Amino acid sequence: MLHARAFRVTVVWTLLLLYLGSVVHATESSLACPDWPTCFGTLVPEMTGGVFWEHLHRLVAGGLLLMFGLATYLAYKEPTDRPWIFRACLGGMALLVIQSVFGGLTVLFQLPDMISTTHLALALLFLSLATVLEAATGDPDATDSGGLPRSSGPSSRSTLTQLSGGAAVLVFGQSVLGALVRHTDAGMACPDFPLCLGQVVPPLVNVPITAHFVHRVLAIVTTAVVVGSFLWAYQADVSSSQRRWLAAAAALVIVQVGLGIASVLSVLAVAPVSLHTLVAAALLSVLVRVATLARLTQHQPRSEP
């Protein structure tokens, strides 16, 4: 169906937008355009230096609004027995508009920590919603690599929903905390690794050190939950397709930890910092997709071989 393809493009587009947003901050280009919604009073500024990244980010954001608008229109036009999909689209459109306004506020108020963090949190919420819509509108009868439909029983599907959903919540919280670390300039509050200021538990005397240290601790918890979910799925009665998605999640969370370490050791170099945001968003999307499909099939009867 056309709207399913549009939702898929929306997910990829949102990941690109999140990556560009991280590049904008990492290159210190956030205020390269001091006004909003124009840039130096025009919609076609000279695309050089920081203006290139900041204005490109705005253009891609505008494109996302148009893309999701098309997906919403297609969802309205194409017949479906699930009216909640169109209502979710309307919620997504509202979320995009609010997120865009917060993007403008970050510029107009010159990057206040909480507004900037909220801007990213709203982007991740939209990514999650777009992923739910993409998963829900896919072919429900798609088969796994073994040629069998989703074969997991109700109990396994329920457990899978809880594990992947809980992991997604953890990743979302960890990502928002990471945004707070970034926007409060706490990325180098612990300049060493694996210790923090030479200690296992540093003196939590201010917000930057506390936020950075909690971010590291939560990273350990999140990694354990994601990898544990994959190990459970490897032995549980779930389809090979679901195992592959969780394997991808486990691989992404390990790469994410490596990028976090590289970000500190490289003193916040642009490449690892930007990829750190992208991989976190991709990990969130994968887990939301697993949870959505598990939830949608949870009450379906088990297929017999």
Q: What pLDDT, on the 0 to 100 scale, is given for residue 305?
A: 41
Q: Which of 76, 99, 72, 82 is nearest to 17 (CA)?
A: 99
Q: To 5 degrees, how large is the angle CA 187–CA 11–CA 37? A: 70
More confident residue, 59 or 144: 59
CATH 1.20.144 fits 151-305, yes or no: no
Amino acid at 120: L
Q: Which of 61, 60, 68 is nearest to 8 (CA)?
A: 68
**In angstroms, what CA-CA distances link 26 with 1, 20, 85, 191?**
38, 10, 36, 17
Q: What pLDDT, on the 0 to 100 scale, is given for residue 158?
A: 87
Average pLDDT value over all residues in the chain: 90
Average pLDDT over residues 184-211: 95
Indicate the DSSP class of residue 42: B
CA distance 173 to 177: 6
Q: What confidence tier does 140 reach under pLDDT thresholds 50, 70, 90?
A: low
Determine what percent of the chain is predicted with pLDDT higher than 90.
82
Q: What pLDDT, on the 0 to 100 scale, is given for residue 139?
A: 59
pLDDT at 235 over 50: yes
Q: Where are the domains of the chain?
A: 1-138, 151-305
Residues 63, 181, 251, 28: what is their CA dihedral angle, to the nearest 10 degrees?
50
